[in-house]
């Protein structure tokens, strides 16, 4: 088994964190992983993406040039990377921020209203966790329990109070995919 992901958006949207949490959760489940970030010099607003590979065998290359799973958190990322996807791939995109783009018909397309759901949870900063839940449900790359435990470890004691709202955001993202 090998699953490849490309998570892309603007700096500040939490795209690198999405990739890190997928990689860390997969490691906890005993998989081989690679996480390769790419970003501009800007702290916020610049282009940011990361490639994640999860496998039950050693990984030959961390590069994901034709992403079978593309996560686009903004329109420029969708426009840039969607053409590189293979037929039959899975596209998850932030439907709150992306419109007016002709989507491919040869891939599975999952619109996720990340920002709207985060606003309903009264915490706009959880939009990336909404997407993380949608990714988890759409790809079954890791278990929900393991993902939550990985998030708990990442938050640590200093940010432990943020666990509940982030967990709820993940669950809401999963619901989007479940329908």
Residue 156, CB half-sphere, CA atoms under 13 Å: how many? 1
pLDDT of residue 104: 95
First to last CA, the chain: 26
Q: What are the DSSP calls for 60-121, one per residue?
A: S----SS-SEEEESSHHHHHHHGGGSPTT-EEEEETTT--S-PPPSSSEEEEE-HHHHHHHT
pLDDT of residue 44: 65
How do residues 112-137 score in pLDDT, each as one tens digit?
999 999 999 999 999 999 999 999 99
pLDDT of residue 47: 87
Q: What is the DSSP letter of 157?
A: T
**Residue at token pair 């708990």:** 152
For the chain, which ranges sit under pLDDT 50? none
Query: Is residue 100 left, alpha or beta, with left meaning phi > 0 and alpha meaning psi from -120 to 50?
Result: left
The fourth-level CATH superfamily of domain 2-178 is Pyruvate-ferredoxin oxidoreductase, PFOR, domain III (3.40.920.10)
Whether 145 and 153 have beta carbons less than 8 Å apart is answered as no
Locate 134 and state its tokens.
């949608």
Q: What is the pTM of this model?
A: 0.94
**CB atoms inside a 10 Å sphere around CB 113:** 18
How do residues 88-109 score in pLDDT, each as one tens digit?
999 999 999 999 899 999 999 9
């Amino acid at each position: 088994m090998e699953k490849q992901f490309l998570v892309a958006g603007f700096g500040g949207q939490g795209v690198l964190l999405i990739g890190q949490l997928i990689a860390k959760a997969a490691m906890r489940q005993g998989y081989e992983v690679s996480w390769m970030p790419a970003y501009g010099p800007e702290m916020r607003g610049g282009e940011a993406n990361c490639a994640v590979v999860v496998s039950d065998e050693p990984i030959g290359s961390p590069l994901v040039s034709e992403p079978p799973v593309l996560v686009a958190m903004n329109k420029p990322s969708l426009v840039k990377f969607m053409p590189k996807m293979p037929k039959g791939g899975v596209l998850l995109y932030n439907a709150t921020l992306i419109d007016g783009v002709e989507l491919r018909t040869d891939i599975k397309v999952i619109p996720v209203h990340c920002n709207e759901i985060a606003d309903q949870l009264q915490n706009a900063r959880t939009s990336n966790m909404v997407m993380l839940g949608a990714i988890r449900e759409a790809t079954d790359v890791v278990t929900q329990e393991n993902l939550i435990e990985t998030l708990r470890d990442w938050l640590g004691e200093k940010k432990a109070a943020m666990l509940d709202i982030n967990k709820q955001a993940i669950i809401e993202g999963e619901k989007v995919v479940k329908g």
